[in-house]
Structure 1
Amino acid sequence: MKDLPTTKELTAFLVTSKTLSFTRAAEELNLTQGAISRQIIALENRLQIPLFQRQARGLALTDKGKEFLPLIEKAVNQIQHAVTKVRADENLIKLKAPSCITTWLLPKLMAFQQAHPEIDVELTSAINHSVNFSTEPFNAAICYGHAPQSTELTANVLFEEILAPMCSPELFSPKMITSNEEEVSADAMSQYTWLHATPDRRDWKLWLNKTDNAHSALASQNQHFATLDLAVSASLQGFGIAIGDVTLAKPDLDSQRLMMPNTKTVASGKGYYLVYPNNQQSAAMKLLIMWLTEQ
């Protein structure tokens, strides 16, 4: 038993394998960079093999490190499941979700808890759109992007991302809002500030390319935000035009707090998925899965 790695060493290895950076791993685990480095060195000494290649531009897993990673992920998942099963309340579900989906999710969770008052759903909102069940204490997570390919996980699609321009009605004149003859063109919209959820402005570029507006230039005035919900919130306040997801924006579109100056929509090819380990399907969890996927 004395040759077994410690949980601190394994956690440092898992997070460093994901980030390939001692600095980012330290930030995620709320430790110093030196502490992470020492844990990795101790693990390598214990195994008597190098797990990472130290390069000028960062870290890379060695062949042995790549071989070791899925084995440890599986083992830690099993330990996590055992601890959760013994310690946790079967009627408590710890759910992680990106902040941008909160307005869509909260009404559904409130309705779920009214229908099942014996089940407590503890929601944690996060900026990142992924989850690592080996190092994070969640039973399930809503993830944005593509369905995970791991055989250890199940992913149920909640909805696919459909994008369109949206802004406050106050940004345009009443005549432009009520006119059914033609929509506001990409060139006309470019006279306003465009709001972006990513530095590379990919949502606007995708919409332009898929609506035969690839020839149109991006707006001369652009504002960038860290998340989609911040960009759409800025559009609600009249600061410009954002590319938003029509499902997430539906309450604001229905109440006419937001409008779509051009109603052409495009599928991004991504979506929102309810993801959970195959071995964590308690009776309460099965009820929540059915509730969210059948709504």
Structure 2
Amino acid sequence: MNNRLPSTKEMQAFIVTADHLKLTSAAQVLHVTQGAVSRQILSLEEKLNIRLFDRNARGLTLTEKGLDFLPLIKKVINDLQSAVEKVSNIKPVIRLKIPSCITTWLLPKIMTFQQAYPEISVELTSSIKHDINFSSESFDAAICYFTQVKDNTLISHLLFEEDLTPVCAPSLLPEGKTQLSVDEMKNLPWLHSTPHKCDWALWLANADSASLTSNHNQHFATLDLAVSAARQGFGISIGDVTLASLDMASGRLTRLHSLQVKSGKGYYLVYPKAANNLSLQTLITWLVDN
């Protein structure tokens, strides 16, 4: 066997260090000591007889050889992972980060995916943050909330555009009414998912009622908290039509007005271009098509 072939530990140490350009950060991601990462890198450089990093007082930078080697070795690791998945009896696990506000919409899709592909396990982690940093976060993919995806290291798939409309619990409506005029809404509490009230401001501007205000306002940290309060009858929230669809179909929420407004943003499924994960591609196809 060729003793110059790097070990998987050496390759992983190089990839993580190249992504962070700091031995301390790489050590934290790999759950080893800084010295262990340094030894793996030095061993790899000795086997290849090249220098992968320039070391200086500010940290590390990739050499020209290191820049050439990085995409090649990432492909090797991804191909190896795919090969193991094909023949292994161990379930492949897809680690997916999602914003907490889409959990209700996403869970039924994930459950039907798991029924269709029982050999693939999906591990969901929800967060109030709507972004992802694959260099420092250990996820295979994420669903993010963007105007557009500008990072050219990522592949993105639009799941749905955001369409905003006022929603509330049916119990808040006067008897015999199914909707309210914009002016009638000011008599009920308005629930805001952000301190600057941008969702309400956008919707009111498109309803030609930009100057209208409510007598009672309540602020929340996230969209799902504001919509949850609306479900419980505490007031009116601006909700996304897609995310609120299950609650509206079940009668837990009702639309107060026919006007819905595109915010210009949407929910995208994103993952690194370097990823070559067959199980992940199966999940992506499922979510985009369903």
Q: Structures share a fold, TM > 0.5?
A: yes
Q: Deviations over 1:19-56 (max 9, x none)?
A: xxxxxxxxxxxxxxxxxxxxxxxxxxx6345x9xxxxx
Deviation at 1:220, TM superposition (A): 2.2
- 1:47 alignment partner, one of 45, 56, 69: 56
Q: Deviations over 1:231-288 (max 9, x none)?
A: 0000000000000001011011111111111121000000000000112131111111
- 1:271 alignment partner, one of 266, 270, 278: 266
Three-state SS of the structure 2 residue aligned to 1:156 is strand
Instruction: Give aligned-pair identity as a percent.
Output: 47
CA distance in structure 2 between the aligned counterparts of 1:11 and 1:172, rounded to whole angstroms: 60
2:49 counterpart residue number: none
TM score, norm. by length of structure 1:
0.71
Q: Is the CA contact (8 Å cut-off) linking 1:156 and 1:275 kept in structure 2?
A: yes
* Structure 1 residues not aligned, in runs of 5+: 15-45, 52-64, 178-182
Deviation at 1:145, TM superposition (A): 1.8
1:280–1:9 distance in 2 versus 1, CA, 3 Å: closer
Please say if 1:210 is aligned against 2:209.
Answer: no
Q: How does 1:144-183 map to 2 (within 5 A)?
A: 144-177=145-178, 183=179
CA distance in structure 2 between the aligned counterparts of 1:251 and 1:170, rounded to whole angstroms: 17
Three-state SS of the structure 1 residue aligned to 2:177 is helix
1:86–1:261 distance in 2 versus 1, CA, 3 Å: same
Three-state SS of the structure 1 residue aligned to 2:94 is strand
1:107–1:158 distance in 2 versus 1, CA, 3 Å: same
Q: Is the CA contact (8 Å cut-off) linking 1:76 and 1:134 kept in structure 2?
A: no
Question: May I ask how many residue pairs the two structures share in their alignment?
Answer: 236
Q: Which has the higher mean CA deviation after the structures are superposed, 278-287 or 268-277?
A: 278-287
CA distance in structure 2 between the aligned counterparts of 1:196 and 1:11, rounded to whole angstroms: 43
1:208–1:258 distance in 2 versus 1, CA, 3 Å: same
TM score, norm. by length of structure 2:
0.72
Deviation at 1:92, TM superposition (A): 1.6
1:47–1:202 distance in 2 versus 1, CA, 3 Å: same
Q: Deviations over 1:131-162 (max 9, x none)?
A: 00000011100001223222211010000000
- 1:138 alignment partner AA: F
Q: Is the CA contact (8 Å cut-off) linking 1:80 and 1:134 kept in structure 2?
A: no
1:230 counterpart residue number: 225
CA distance in structure 2 between the aligned counterparts of 1:221 and 1:75, rounded to whole angstroms: 60
Three-state SS of the structure 1 residue aligned to 2:195 is coil
- 1:212 alignment partner AA: D
CA distance in structure 2 between the aligned counterparts of 1:96 and 1:231, rounded to whole angstroms: 21
1:129 counterpart residue number: 130
- 2:235 alignment partner, one of 225, 228, 240: 240
Three-state SS of the structure 2 residue aligned to 1:142 is strand
CA distance in structure 2 between the aligned counterparts of 1:167 and 1:133, rounded to whole angstroms: 37
1:193 counterpart residue number: 189
Structure whose alpha-carbon radius of gyration is higher: 2
> Could you say what the CA RMSD is over the residues aligned between the two structures, in angstroms?
3.1
1:107 counterpart residue number: 108
Q: Is the CA contact (8 Å cut-off) linking 2:78 and 2:276 kept in structure 1?
A: no
1:73–1:100 distance in 2 versus 1, CA, 3 Å: farther
* Structure 2 residues not aligned, in runs of 5+: 1-13, 27-54, 86-91
- 1:47 alignment partner AA: N
